[in-house]
């Protein structure tokens, strides 16, 4: 399979490219800096430049004659939000996806890929308490949910061009040296980690291996259309996650972190940490995906090298 990947120099994108190459696929990557992408990902990929995903469509040469596209672009969400940051979070997802679909539309029909797997997020659902949520549930009305709704709509516009489109609503990714764990590890290593904001909120966690596995599964599975939750089979509460991480690190996990402290540190973005959603991967399980790391503690050990 010939696959084009955007966002390929990020932790998740690089892992997707590595997995594609390992199974014998051909990978083309789009990057703001093609030379840097080539250097990072190696000679086995074809790297092309998409210098301004918000301001322009990607080059036709990156898409023509390809079998599929995996679209992973997006400004990091885990940062303090200002109006400018919120605009970048939205535009890097919504407008880049619109520009990608525009480039697909401009291709001759016989040159278009047949599949688009486009990243989305479990933030689509907002805060839902302990309610089990699957792909049939509606979006929330907060900022992140609004971004996800627009993001997915731009991706699904490719269905009008004859592509099979899957939008992957990915949860909190457990990966080594990056993302949520990168921010959690320092206090735990110092022995002052613990549940955040009461700890009752659910964390829809997923190990990197299963994010990559699910995306390749969606590339290959004709029935994988529309929204697919990419989360572990059993979400954990923040308390459960904290205790499991403490066991893995052999550190105490009893120091509670109050809501006010998180809000003081992160501002509006604190909602991601202080609220949660019990999202479950209903569609993946119906389609027969087999999770590589379905157990929380084992996933944490893999992600931390413990």
Model confidence at 176, pLDDT cuts 50, 70, 90, reads confident
Statement: residue 249 has pLDDT above 70: yes
Q: The domain at 2-171+207-231 falls in which architecture?
A: 3-Layer(aba) Sandwich (3.40)
Q: Which of 196, 194, 199, 200 is nearest to 255 (CA)?
A: 194
pLDDT, position 157: 98
Residues in the chain: 306
DSSP bridge pairs for 174:
179, 207
Distance CA(210)–CA(213), nearest Å, equals: 5
Q: Which residues pair with 47 in a beta bridge?
A: 29
- The single residue listed with the structure tokens 């539309």 is 105
For residues 297 and 241, is the Cβ–Cβ distance under 8 A? no
Q: Which of 178-192, 204-218, 223-237, 245-259 has the lowest mean pLDDT?
A: 178-192
Among 141-145, 152-156, 191-195, 201-205, which is the least confidently predicted range? 191-195
CA angle 200, 208, 35 (to 5 degrees): 135
CA angle 259, 264, 267 (to 5 degrees): 95
With cut-offs at 50, 70 and 90, classify the pLDDT of residue 263.
confident
Find the range with the poorest average confidence among 74-88, 97-111, 260-274.
Answer: 260-274
Please report, for the chain, the start and end positions of each structural domain, with discontinuous segments joined by +.
Answer: 2-171+207-231
The pairing of strands 172-175 and 164-170 is unpaired
Give Cβ neighbours of residue 76 (< 8 Å, ≥ 6 apart): none
pTM exceeds 0.75 for this model: yes
DSSP-H helix ranges across 29-142:
34-41, 83-106
Average of per-residue pLDDT values in the chain: 93
Task: Give the pair of three-digit tokens for residue 274.
Answer: 């202080």
pLDDT, position 192: 63
Please name the residue ranges forming H helices in the chain. 11-22, 34-41, 83-106, 143-156, 179-189, 208-220, 238-249, 259-266, 271-274, 282-287, 296-304
| Most distant CA atoms of the chain, gap in Å | 60
pLDDT tops 80 at residue 138: yes
């Amino acid at each position: 399979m010939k696959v084009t990947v955007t966002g390929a120099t990020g932790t998740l994108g690089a892992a997707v490219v590595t997995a594609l190459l390992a199974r014998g696929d051909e990978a083309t990557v789009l990057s703001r800096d093609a030379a840097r992408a080539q250097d990072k990902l190696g000679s086995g990929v074809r790297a092309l430049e998409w210098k301004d995903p918000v301001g322009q469509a990607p080059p036709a040469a990156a898409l023509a004659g390809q079998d599929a596209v995996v679209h992973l672009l997006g400004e990091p969400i885990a940062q303090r939000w200002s109006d400018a940051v919120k605009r970048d979070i939205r535009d890097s997802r919504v407008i880049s996806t619109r520009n990608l679909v525009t480039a697909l539309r401009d291709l001759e029909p016989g040159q278009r890929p047949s599949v688009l797997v486009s990243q989305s997020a479990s933030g689509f659902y907002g805060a839902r308490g302990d309610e089990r949520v699957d792909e049939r549930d509606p979006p929330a009305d907060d900022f992140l949910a609004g971004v996800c709704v627009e993001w997915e709509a731009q991706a699904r516009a490719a269905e009008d061009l004859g592509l099979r489109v899957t939008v992957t609503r990915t949860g909190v990714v457990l990966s080594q040296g990056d993302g949520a764990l990168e921010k959690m590890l320092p206090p735990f290593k110092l022995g002052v980690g613990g549940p955040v904001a009461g700890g009752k909120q659910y964390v829809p966690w997923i190990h990197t291996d299963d994010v990559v596995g699910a995306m390749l599964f969606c590339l290959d599975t004709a029935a994988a259309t529309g929204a697919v939750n990419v989360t572990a089979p059993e979400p954990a509460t923040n308390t459960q996650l904290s205790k499991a991480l403490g066991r893995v690190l052999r550190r105490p996990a009893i120091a509670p972190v109050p809501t006010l402290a998180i809000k003081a540190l992160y501002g509006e973005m604190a909602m991601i940490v202080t609220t949660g959603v019990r999202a479950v991967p209903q569609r993946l399980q119906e389609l027969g995906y087999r999770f590589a790391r379905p157990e929380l503690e084992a996933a944490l050990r893999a992600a931390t090298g413990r």
